């Protein structure tokens, strides 16, 4: 009987030692599994980054705090950039540079003390240089068809140099000085005395109260211009101009004869003063 009890103590003691070893093994296994899981979690972001396609944003999710995104790839366009503001068309027209223009003129010339009145219509050419915001140096050439009383037909041509002041963005004021001429093809006016066949030398009329039947000559011309321009774009503008014109023309009537002593042509001369105005429509380019 005692032997039986002794065996029971031995068995009980053996079972206690075995249980302790099992507990130690189980605890070590749980600790190893925990460290493995923790190590896998730390390695997961790097693996995700490696597997992400090029150029894609990578999300990193730490244990606490907001989600952090990686910087964009090098080939990303980045944030949009606004373009610089462009100059207005009016500002461009104020810059120095070459100007060229074409226009049409309609006007009238009134003779002072005798020369005939005429109507004028035709083209004009303008060109020059814009010096700065306030000043330009322009030039104009006119080729105008003229008509008048007594069957007058002919051509008026003129050219002038015109310093121009740009008073406002639209209003330009200019003054010009140059030359002007008339070429008449004929009229029904009577021939004033002296008769060409009676002259032995050239003759100059004291006035033009009895005008020659035809005027062919050139003289001094001047003008005043007020112009209103509207800018169409960076390269062109258009507008209307009012002009006051004056011309002093030296008309020459060749008699077809020569002086016997000098062999110089015998001519009759007459000065025709004219004053008038015109309206012009022009287009300018830069």
* Long-range contacts, stretch 54-63, CB < 8 angstroms, 24+ apart: none
**Quick one: DSSP state of residue 259?**
-
Q: Which residue has better confidence, 119 or 58?
A: 119
Label residue 199 exposed, middle or buried (CB < 10 Å: 0-12, 13-18, 19+).
Answer: middle
Give the Cα separation of 111 and 91 in Å (integer): 43
Tokens of 237: 């503008």
Tokens of 228: 């209103």
Q: Domain-by-domain residue ranges, the chain?
A: 1-41, 90-285
pLDDT score for 53: 52
Give the Cα separation of 173 and 177 in Å (integer): 14
What percent of the chain clears pLDDT 90, i.e. is strictly above it?
49
Q: Is the pLDDT of residue 10 over 70?
A: no
CA dihedral for 91, 95, 98, 101, sign (positive or negative): positive
Q: What is the pLDDT of residues 62-92, one digit of tens each?
A: 445 555 545 555 555 556 665 544 668 778 8
Contact between 283 and 101 (Cβ < 8 Å): yes
pLDDT score for 60: 46
Summarize the confidence of residues 9-27 as an average pLDDT: 58
Task: Enter the pTM of the model.
Answer: 0.66
Q: Is the pLDDT of residue 215 over 80?
A: yes
Q: How confident is the model at residue 59 (pLDDT cuts 50, 70, 90)?
A: very low
pLDDT score for 19: 65
pLDDT score for 73: 54
Q: How confident is the model at residue 143 (pLDDT cuts 50, 70, 90)?
A: very high
Give the Cα separation of 152 and 154 in Å (integer): 7
Q: Is the pLDDT of residue 182 over 80?
A: yes
Q: Does domain 90-285 have CATH number 1.20.20.10?
A: no
Q: Where are the beta strands (DSSP E) in 76-115?
A: 97-111
């Amino acid at each position: 009987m005692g032997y039986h009890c002794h065996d029971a103590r031995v068995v009980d003691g053996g079972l206690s030692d075995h249980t302790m070893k099992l507990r130690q093994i189980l605890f070590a296994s749980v600790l190893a599994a925990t460290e493995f899981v923790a190590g896998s979690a730390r390695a997961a972001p790097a693996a995700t980054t490696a597997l992400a396609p090029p150029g894609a944003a990578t999300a990193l999710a730490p244990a606490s705090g907001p989600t952090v995104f990686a910087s964009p790839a090098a080939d990303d366009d980045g944030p949009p950039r606004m373009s610089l503001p462009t100059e207005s068309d009016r500002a461009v027209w104020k810059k120095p540079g070459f100007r060229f223009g074409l226009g049409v003129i309609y006007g009238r010339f009134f003779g002072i003390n005798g020369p005939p009145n005429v109507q004028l219509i035709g083209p004009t050419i303008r060109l020059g240089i814009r010096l700065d915001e306030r000043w330009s140096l322009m030039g104009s050439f006119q080729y105008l068809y003229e008509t008048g009383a007594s069957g007058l037909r002919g051509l008026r041509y003129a050219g002038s140099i015109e310093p121009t002041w740009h008073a406002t963005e639209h209003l330009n004021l200019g003054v010009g000085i140059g030359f002007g001429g008339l070429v008449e093809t004929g009229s029904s006016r009577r021939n004033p005395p002296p008769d060409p066949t009676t002259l032995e030398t050239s003759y100059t009329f004291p006035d033009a109260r009895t005008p020659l039947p035809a005027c062919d000559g050139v003289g001094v011309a001047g003008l005043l211009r007020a112009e209103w321009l509207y800018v169409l774009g960076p390269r062109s503008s258009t507008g209307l101009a009012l002009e006051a014109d004056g011309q002093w023309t030296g008309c020459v009537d060749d008699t077809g004869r020569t002086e016997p002593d000098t062999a110089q042509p015998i001519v009759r001369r007459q000065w025709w003063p004219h004053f008038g105005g015109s309206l012009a429509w022009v287009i300018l380019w830069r």
